[in-house]
C-alpha cells in the first residue's frame, strides 16, 4: 500500500493505492501467512475501522522525549468505541524495549 511509490520503479511489487480495505479483505480470504503492517498510522486506522486488524504489536522504548510525543493514530473522526484491545503477550528485552501484543476485539 502506498500513495507515493511509482509502480514502474518497482515492477516486482504490486502497489495498491485505492480501495485498500477491499484489497486487504481479498488477501485475508486467500490461504497463506499473516499480513503485517509496519508503521503507516493512516492505513492502520483505516484497516482497524474496517475490522481488518486482528493483532496490534507495540514496541515501547525507554526514551525520554522532553516534550509530548506523537499519537499513534489520528482519531478524527473517532474510532469505533466497540473495538478494544486485550493484552495477549508481553516481552521485555535486555535492551529495555518492551514488546506488547494486543488482540483486537470487534463486536
38-88 tens-digit pLDDT: 767 788 888 888 888 899 898 888 776 666 666 666 666 666 666 788 999
pLDDT at 39: 67
Query: Considering the domain boundaries, does residue 1 fall inside one?
Result: no
Quote the number of domains for the chain: 1
DSSP 89: E
User: Omega into 75 within 30° of 0, i.e. cis?
Assistant: no
The residue with cell 486506522 is 45
At 9 the pLDDT is 92
Which CATH number characterizes residue 87's domain? 3.40.430.10
- φ, ψ dihedrals at 42, nearest 5°: -70, -45
pTM above threshold 0.85 = no
SS3 25: helix
Domain membership of residue 74 as a residue range? 7-105
pLDDT at 68: 65
pLDDT tens-digit map of 2-26: 888 888 999 998 888 888 899 999 9
φ/ψ region of 5 (left if φ > 0, alpha if ψ in -120 to 50, else beta) reads beta
Residues facing 5 on adjacent strands = none
Amino acid at each position: 500500500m502506498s500513495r507515493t511509490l511509482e509502480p514502474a520503479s518497482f515492477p516486482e511489487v504490486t502497489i495498491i493505492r485505492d480501495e485498500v480495505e477491499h484489497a486487504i479483505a481479498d488477501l485475508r480470504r486467500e490461504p497463506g501467512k499473516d499480513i503485517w503492517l509496519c508503521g503507516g498510522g493512516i492505513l492502520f486506522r483505516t484497516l482497524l475501522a474496517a475490522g481488518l486488524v486482528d493483532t496490534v504489536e507495540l514496541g515501547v522504548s525507554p526514551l525520554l522525549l522532553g516534550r509530548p510525543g506523537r499519537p499513534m493514530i489520528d482519531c478524527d473522526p473517532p474510532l469505533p468505541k466497540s473495538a478494544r484491545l486485550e493484552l495477549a503477550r508481553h516481552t521485555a528485552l535486555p535492551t529495555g524495549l518492551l514488546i506488547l501484543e494486543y488482540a483486537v476485539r470487534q463486536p
